[in-house]
């Protein structure tokens, strides 16, 4: 799947906004689906299986946060939240539920398209030249298959969680600051708060650590950031 052939679902109750976003995406060659109702948007996401969902926060019948929560519980479908809310707590909540990015209205349609492209690029498997099975104890990440396992159990990660784990695992022992990790995720770094990295780390630990309260894979370096354990043989 390339960016140009990707299918994008827009779930937005403001028809003018939905049509504007759809027009800009179609100009870039994307296939676009539009729903103006939360319940219909959730059903379309499940049936049509788009490559990415642009999801408004305030929707009739089912709000965007609940749709995000339900989709994330059953798939790794990339999600971009679109909302008029600007409070930090709302952004953090969206990311904690598994959103991959967050755009606040009013926004530039061109910027939104670039955000969509960036998310789709992050969702792509690593280039063949970089493919290498990464492992630490029972934890394994296979870039070629875009798959993470813990022992014989498959771990389902969001696009952002997978990208974060990959970045950390390819450089075990190296300490990454939050700002540095953000630069790997977002081309518009200034638009994303550093706390988002903490949210992703916490969600990731809940999925890959045997005890998320006492992590052995992803270590916190107080006052700076995070690093992946370089003691794989002992885990």
Segment 133-164, tens digit of pLDDT: 899 989 999 988 888 999 999 998 888 888 89
Assess contact for 212 and 206: CB atoms under 8 A: yes
Residue 145 confidence (pLDDT): 83
Note the pLDDT tens digit of each residue in 17-55.
999 999 999 999 999 999 999 999 999 999 998 999 999
CA angle (189 as vertex; 185, 191 as ends), nearest 5: 115
Report how far residue 99's alpha carbon sits from residue 64's, in angstroms, rounded to the nearest whole number.
10
Residue 189 confidence (pLDDT): 44
Assess contact for 3 and 120: CB atoms under 8 A: yes
| Domains, in order of start, for the chain | 7-123 (3.40.50.2300), 128-234 (1.10.10.10)
Report how far residue 149's alpha carbon sits from residue 151's, in angstroms, rounded to the nearest whole number.
6
Q: Is 4 a residue whose pLDDT tops 70? A: no
In angstroms, what CA-CA distances link 41 with 37, 106, 132, 159, 185?
A: 6, 22, 37, 20, 27
Residues in the chain, total? 235
Question: 3-class SS at 149?
Answer: strand
Q: Is 193 a residue whose pLDDT tops 70? A: no
pTM over 0.75: no
Per-residue DSSP letter, 37: S
Q: Is 131 a residue whose pLDDT tops 80? A: no
């Amino acid at each position: 799947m390339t960016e140009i052939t990707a299918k994008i679902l827009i779930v937005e109750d403001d028809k003018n906004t939905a049509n504007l976003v759809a027009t800009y995406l179609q100009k870039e060659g994307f296939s676009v689906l539009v729903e103006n109702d939360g319940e219909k948007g959730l059903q379309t996401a499940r049936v049509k299986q788009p490559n990415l969902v642009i999801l408004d926060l305030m929707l009739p019948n089912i709000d965007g946060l609940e749709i995000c929560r339900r989709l994330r519980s059953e798939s790794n479908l990339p999600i971009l939240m679109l909302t008029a809310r600007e409070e930090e707590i709302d952004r953090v909540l969206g990311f904690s539920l598994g959103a991959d990015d967050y755009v606040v209205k009013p926004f530039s349609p061109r910027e939104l398209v670039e955000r969509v492209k960036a998310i789709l690029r992050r969702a792509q498997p690593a280039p063949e030249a970089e493919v290498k099975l990464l492992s630490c104890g029972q934890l394994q990440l296979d870039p070629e298959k875009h798959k993470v396992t813990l022992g014989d159990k498959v771990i389902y990660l969001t696009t952002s969680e997978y990208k974060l784990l990959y970045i950390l695992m390819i450089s075990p022992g190296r300490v990454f600051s939050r700002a540095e990790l953000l630069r790997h995720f977002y081309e518009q770094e200034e638009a994303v708060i550093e706390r988002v990295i903490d949210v992703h780390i916490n969600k990731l630990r809940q999925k890959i650590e045997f005890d998320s309260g006492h992590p052995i894979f992803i270590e916190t370096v107080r006052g700076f950031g995070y690093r992946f354990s370089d003691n794989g043989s002992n885990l």
